[in-house]
Amino acid sequence: MRIITGGLKTTPIHALEATTRLPSLDHRREEKVIVQYEKLQRLPSHPAHQHTQQLTKNRLKRSSFNHLAKQLERTQTSFLPRTPEEQEPLQDAEEWNSQLSKVLFVTDMPGVTSKREQQDAVLKNLTLEMMHQDYNASVWTHIYTDGSSDGAIKNGGSGILVRYPDGHTLSRSLPAGELSSNYRAELTALREAVSLVSEHPPSHAVFLTDCRSAVQSLQPPKEQLERDTQRLLCTLSQSTNVAVQWIPAHCGLSGNEEADRLAKTGSHLEQTRPTVSYSEAKTLVKRHYQTTWNAQHSLPSDDQMPNLQRHQQTILFRLRTGHCRLRAHMHRLGLSHTPNCLCETGPQTPEHILQTCPLHQEARTDHWPQGATLQEQLWGTKDSLILTTSFIQATKLEV
C-alpha cells in the first residue's frame, strides 16, 4: 500500500487502507469465511458440509475454519439467515424456457450512455421518446416497478405502479423481506407486478424497471425468485404481448419516481423472513462488511485524488496524512534539529505551508487569489487538488 500511495514508512496502516480502499487482511478473511460457510450450508451432500455441522475441538489452541465460521455466525446473525429453513439450497440453472421467447427483454436504450455523462433532463427525454415509439400509452399498459432496502441489506420494500391505456392507475407497496438487498427488492417488485397484472391480462404490457441486473437475471434464471418470475411471465405471455424494459433511474420520470416512493413505503411494512439464496447471502455479507469499513474510514465518496497524476497523488497523500518530509514530522523522527519553519512563526506542517507561512505568500496568492480553506486545498475538486500540488512544487519544498 505504501508503493501504491507513495507514503513514507511511518504512515499509519489505517491511512493507507483508507486511501487505497483496501480492507485489512482480518477484514477480508472474515468476509471470505462467512461467504464460504454460507455456501457449504447449502450443499448438504458436500463432505465439508458435515464438518461444519460438527462441534469444534476446543482442546487445541489453534483455530480452524470451523472455529472462526461458528464464532462469526453467532455474532453476525443480524444480516444472515438464522435457520436452515431460511437457506435456499443451491440449484443448477434451469434450461431456457421456449415460452419465454415470446417475452421481449431489453437492457439498453438508444442514445443512453450513463448518468455520469448525461444530464437527467436528457435521459428523461430519451426515455419518453423511446416509450412513445415502442410502447405507446394508447396501446400498452405501463407497469413501473422499483425496490428499496435499508443499507441494501435489510427491510426490503417493493413498489408497483400500473398505468392502463384508459388512464386508470393501480399502485401497491409490499415488503420484500427482513433480509433483503436492493436487487431482491427490485425482483420481488417485478414478480408481484406480473402476478398483479395477470389477474386481468391486458393486450400489451411493458414492465419498466431501473434495475438492469433484474432483467438480465431472467435469461435464464438461477434462483427461486427468478424462476418464479420467469414462470409468471411465461404464463402471461400466452395472452399478452409482454416486454420487460430497462429505464434509467431517477431522471425525473413520474412513474419511476412514484414506484420508488411506493417501494420506500413498503420497506416500513411488517416484514417476513423468506428463504435467502447463496447469491443473495453473498451480496448481504459483502454489503455489510463494505458498510462497516466505510463507517470506520470516513472518506468522501467523490475523492478526486485517484484522477491525478502519480507525482501529484504522492504529494497530496503526504500532505493529508502529515507524514512527509517537512520539518515538523522529520523532528518527530529525530531527523531535524527543530520542528519550526524557516519563517520562525510556527512548526513547518502541511497546514502552515498551505495556509499561513509568510515565505510563500506570493505563491499562495498566485494560486488562490481569493483564498482557499485547508479543506478545499486537500479534499476539493480535481482542479483544486491540482492547484495544491502546483503550489507545493512552486515552493520547492520536498514533501
Instruction: State the CATH number of the domain containing residue 146.
Output: 3.30.420.10
177 and 127 both lie in a single domain? yes
Cα distance between residue 58 and residue 368, in whole Å: 64
pLDDT tens digits, one per residue of 123-161: 999 999 999 999 999 999 999 999 999 988 889 999 999
Q: Which of 258, 275, 292 is the last residue of a domain?
A: 275
Q: What is the pTM of this model?
A: 0.76
State how far Cα 361 lies from the chain centre: 43
Query: So what's the pLDDT on residue 100?
Result: 65
Give Cα separations from 34 to 37, 246, 251, 266 (angstroms): 5, 33, 37, 29
228 and 354 both lie in a single domain? no
216 and 142 both lie in a single domain? yes
**Structural domain span for residue 364:** 305-395
344 in a structural domain = yes
Give Cα separations from 341 to 24, 94, 323 (angstroms): 36, 71, 16
29 in a structural domain = no
Long-range interactions of 37-40: CB distance < 8 A, separation 24+: 37/65, 37/69, 37/72, 37/73, 38/80, 38/87, 38/278, 38/281, 38/282, 38/285, 39/90, 39/278, 39/282
232 and 328 both lie in a single domain? no
What phi, psi does 145 have (nearest 5°)?
Answer: -130, 150
Q: Which three cell numbers stand for residue 172?
A: 401497491
Query: So what's the pLDDT on residue 93?
Result: 54
Query: So what's the pLDDT on residue 271?
Result: 93
Please list, in sequence order, all residues whose beta carbon lies within 8 angstroms of the beta carbon of residue 87, skipping any fewer than 6 positions away: 38, 41, 42, 81, 275, 276, 281
Q: What DSSP state is assigned to residue 306?
A: G
Q: Look at the block and give the residue holding cell 420481488.
A: 188
Query: So what's the pLDDT on residue 98?
Result: 53
270 and 123 both lie in a single domain? yes
Taken in order 89, 90, 94, 100, the sign of the CA dihedral is: positive
The gap between the terminal CA atoms of the chain, to the nearest Å, is 18
Q: Which three cell numbers stand for residue 354?
A: 498551505
CB 43 within 8 A of CB 87: no
Q: What DSSP state is assigned to residue 30?
A: H
314 and 356 both lie in a single domain? yes
157 in a structural domain = yes
Cα distance between residue 311 and residue 294, in whole Å: 26
Low-confidence ranges of the chain (pLDDT < 50): 96
Query: So what's the pLDDT on residue 269?
Result: 95
Domain count, the chain: 2
145 and 241 both lie in a single domain? yes
